[in-house]
Structures are given as structure tokens and as C-alpha cells.
Amino acid sequence: MAGEVVLLDFWPSMFAMRVRIALAEKGIRYESKEEDLSNKSPLLLEMNPINKQIPVLIHKGKPVCESLIIVQYIDEVWNDKSPLLPSDPYQKRSSQVWADFVDKKVSGAAKKVWSTKGEEQEAGKKEFLEALKTMEGELGDKPYFGGETFGYVDLSFITFYSWFHAYEVLGNFNIEAECPKIITWAKRCMQKEAVANTLPDQKKVYEFVVQLRKMFVSE
């Protein structure tokens, strides 16, 4: 099985983490190929010629790109265990809308927190916290976004938790003070083996982000 499933990966990427969690939840053996994004491999350029980005899942020689699309693909192909998307059509569409919100609103604002400074960073912090509070509203009092079980929206969002320490230090704010339900939910997700074994150490991510920030900001 490992030979027919390959993941083009990059360890601090929250988008690649999504795919790793999905594969772990399904118990799928695969080969991980770590990419150097400053010197992209011929395989990556061949398998994702349009965006030239990770993650890319290669299944039986055929590439699937974009993390959320990959997760949906995994859920459809290996549908005998740990369903990630709801079977109900309305609930499935709703889950996809919220995962899209994470990609467009949470991710975009989060990048401003670590890659800018001054007024732009302050605006990014405000936007980021507003997005988290919107997620809190959707979560409500449920254990997970889909209800009682870990699912597609949880998987789409939890990978950002590994970057929370970097956001807090570089942005000088406290996420738990602002959005306590999100932290409680994140800690609940971290009790899952597939999540805990996938997300890298927050301090290690912080060290990576500090170096990455130098490419965007002159202090």
C-alpha cells in the first residue's frame, strides 16, 4: 500500500498536516516525501504544474492537489473507516463552507499576524481574532464542529493550532484570553492520536516562523 500512496509534504505546513491527519484517521500507510520549497523537486513540478505547491497526494501515480480536495478524496476512496464528511448532503455542504471560511478568513488573517508589522499587523490581529470568534460561534457548546465526533471542519482548522504560539509571540496577544472555547476545543482534538502525532511542537514552529518572517519584514 505504501508504494501506491505518496505525499509531497512540508513539515510546518498546516495544509499538509490536514492530509497527514486524514491518512492517519483512515489508517492508510503512505510514503512521505519532504519538499524543499526553495528548491522544488522535479516530482512536485510534474505533479502540480499549475500551482507548484504542496501538499500533493499521489495515488497510484495520479496526483490530487489542494489540501481540502485531497481530504475529500481520501474520505471518498477509503470510505470504510472513520468518515470525515457527513453523509447528509446539507451537513456536508455546511462543513465545506466552514472549511472554506478557515482557508479564506482564518488563514489570510493569520498570515498578516506573522508577516507584517505596525498598523497592518494590528489590523491582521483584529481580523484574526474576529475570525476565531466566528468559529467559536459555530462551535457553540458542541465537543466538535460536526457534533459529537471529530470531522472535516475540525481537521481543517486544528492544524493552525501548531502555529498559535508563533501568532501570540509575534503579535503580542493571548488567544485563550480572547477565545477560550477555541483553546478548549483544540486541547480536546489533541487528545486524538492522529492529531497529536501529526502536529509539530509549537516552539519548533515558532523558530521556523521567526526565520520565515525575515523574508517579509525588516525589523
State the Cα angle at 41 between 38 and 45, rounded to 5°: 100
Q: What is the pLDDT of residues 28-85, one digit of tens each?
A: 999 999 999 999 999 999 999 999 999 999 999 999 999 999 999 999 999 999 999 9
59 SS3 class: strand
Q: What is the pLDDT of residues 23-35, one digit of tens each?
A: 999 999 999 999 9
| Three cell numbers written together for 52 | 507548484
Q: What is the pLDDT of residues 138-177, one digit of tens each?
A: 999 999 999 999 999 999 999 999 999 999 999 999 999 9
Per-residue pLDDT at 3 exceeds 80: no
Strand partners, 6: 31, 58
* Amino acid identity, position 211: Q
Query: Domains (ranges, CATH) in the chain?
Result: 5-78 (3.40.30.10), 89-216 (1.20.1050.10)
Asked whether the beta carbons of 5 and 30 are under 8 A apart, the reply is yes
Give the Cα separation of 48 and 148 in Å (integer): 36
* Per-residue H/E/C for 67-113: HHHHHHHHHHHCCCCCCCCCCCHHHHHHHHHHHHHHHHHHHHHHHHH
